[in-house]
Structure 1
Amino acid sequence: MTTEVRTELRPDGVAVLTLDGGDGRNAFGAATGRALGEAYARCDADDDVRAVVLTGAGSSFCVGADLASADVFGAAGESFSASPVDPPAFAVRKLVVAALNGHAIGIGLTLALQCDVRIVAADAKLAIPQVRRGMLGDAASHWTLPRLAGRAVAAELLLTGRTLSGTEAVARGLATEALPAADVLPAALVLAADVAVHANPASVALSKRLLWSDLGPDEIAAAETDAHRLLMGTPDAAEGPAAWRERRTPEWTSRVSDLPPLD
């Protein structure tokens, strides 16, 4: 059974993307990767979307690649990619929260590592076990995991393939919060809605771009200056302080789609 990606745009500006395999396990296949990439691209382009939550239907987030399929990521060859979701979550110019409501194995976990924030079920099983299957970690996990948890933790997980719980994932820096499974998605929605309403979309997009970049400290300082100059003098630069002073919800007018690229 192919795991589909269901999309729901909520009135608060949060898009909920749900991996749904119909069996509660949500195994990943080539079609899943294409669908998720298309959903991310729509969220990035749609100014009505101000935050994104990625979760799984049923009792699991994603148990990994569909090993029963001969075409998991597509055919091997020059067109093959170990990162089958394009664009990845870190390239989406909105906050992306992974709500790991259950087990996240293999690419189920490596895709979550591409998100900005992870909230996880305390009793979920998490692993990147590919070295135990004759392969290795995918979805740029050799880049995302060291950035999140440090090289020592990354080496332990990528080179041993060991399994850890959601609670341990928080302790090791892979997630921000471990909750009972039933509370994971509601908590992610609260966080996403808070950002969607109270954070300037342009500010989030520019900050995220710098956060996920590989720029050095001097380059980051220059890019931050460019971003500040881009925002200074805009209506939202006045609206944010005014809303804070008047203790009201800000009314943002900036659109992510209008942002120019930063050098």
Structure 2
Amino acid sequence: MKYEENTFAWADTSGAGRPERLTRVRCEIDDGVATVTLDRPDRLNAVDRTMRNELSAAFRWCDAADEVGAVVLTGAGRAFCAGSEMTANGFAGAEAQSPDPGWIAPYQIRKPVVAAIQGAAVGLGLTLAMQCDVRFVADDAVLALPFVRLGVTAELMGHWNLVRHVGLGRAQELLLTGRRFTGAEAAVWGLAVSALPTEQVLPRAQALARDIVEHAAPVAVAATKRLLWEAAEAGPFEHARTERLVMETLLDRPDAREGVDAFLHRRRPVWTGRPSTDLPPWPIEHGEDST
């Protein structure tokens, strides 16, 4: 009997190529780590339609490309992201807040996404960062979810993610007031794993991403990421069953044998599993395999 399928789903990025002629986003790769930079520093990296489309294109390529093992998301200049572009007509980046078949969120990428919040992260800028898997933040960064002060509500799973990370009471205070808070406070509350001096944020995020690329099996990482995102909504026994079935499937794969052999011989593993083709089917049954 199949367990109830969760609503989590990977994005369909088959055939996605490396984006070219980007004007609002930079996408660079170094030894398996892709650094995606919101590159509109004169506007504090505010998101408009063009940036939204370019960011989605960069995420699609990072997901589809097996040479990318982990992604770092950051911003150019003194801000991570000031949120949606605001004009006399309202929010110019609001399309990113609504269902859009072309949009891909960080949690939908089969690679871990690490947010390097080296400066201000406000509104959509912070809800976007909360969709990443890990966050490092500058201790003096200014953060805010000021939606109620602008006559709207939070988007990009902002309510759900904030409650998940800081608890209902703190989430109520931050979202109902829309007040500012610091990166140091965010780390204390669990919204970021660490608050650092500004100049250390991006190197620390890239170092963590590189550690994953160098030591962890890509298929196991992708499966673990999905299990973590589904854990918040699944019951403990349902999730334990899913976890066990995924583990049983991966035990039969070459990477499981390679990992053990590399550990016993104290050498760096050589993984052959590819997230683009070798992920276990989901939902998964006992004895099922994607090969």
TM-score, length-normalised on structure 2? Answer: 0.84
Specify the SS of the correspondent of 1:131.
Answer: helix
Identify the residue that residue 52 of structure 1 maps to in structure 2. 71
Identify the residue that residue 32 of structure 2 maps to in structure 1. 13
Structure 1 residue corresponding to 2:263, chosen from 241, 244, 247: 244
Identify the residue that residue 201 of structure 2 maps to in structure 1. 184
Q: Percent identity?
A: 47
Structure 1 residue corresponding to 2:180, chosen from 163, 167, 186: 163
Write out the 4+ residue segments of structure 1 that deviate beyond 4 Å after TM superposition: none
Identify the residue that residue 123 of structure 1 maps to in structure 2. 140
Structure 2 residue corresponding to 1:82, chosen from 98, 122, 133: 98
Computed over aligned residues only, the root mean square deviation of the Cα atoms, in angstroms, reads 1.9
Distance 1:27 1:3 in 2: 13
Counterpart code for 1:82: S
Give the drift of 1:24: 6.5
The answer to whether 1:72 aligns with 2:97 is no
Distance 1:68 1:19 in 2: 19
Give the drift of 1:207: 0.9
- What are the Cα deviations for residues 74-112 of structure 1, in whole angstroms up to 9, with x where unaligned? 57xxxx843668221111111100000101011111100
Q: Unaligned regions of 5+ residues in structure 1, if any?
A: none
Identify the residue that residue 82 of structure 2 maps to in structure 1. 63
Distance 2:160 2:129 in 1: 13
- What are the Cα deviations for residues 50-76 of structure 1, in whole angstroms up to 9, with x where unaligned? 10000000111011121126462357x
Structure 2 residue corresponding to 1:256, chosen from 275, 279, 282: 275
Specify the SS of the correspondent of 1:251.
Answer: coil
Distance 2:207 2:127 in 1: 24
The answer to whether 1:114 aligns with 2:131 is yes
> Contact conserved, 2:28 with 2:35, CA < 8 A, in 1?
yes
> Contact conserved, 1:3 with 1:26, CA < 8 A, in 2?
no
Matched residue count: 257
Identify the residue that residue 25 of structure 1 maps to in structure 2. 44
Give the drift of 1:233: 2.2
Identify the residue that residue 175 of structure 1 maps to in structure 2. 192
Distance 1:33 1:159 in 2: 27
Identify the residue that residue 232 of structure 1 maps to in structure 2. 251
Give the drift of 1:33: 1.6
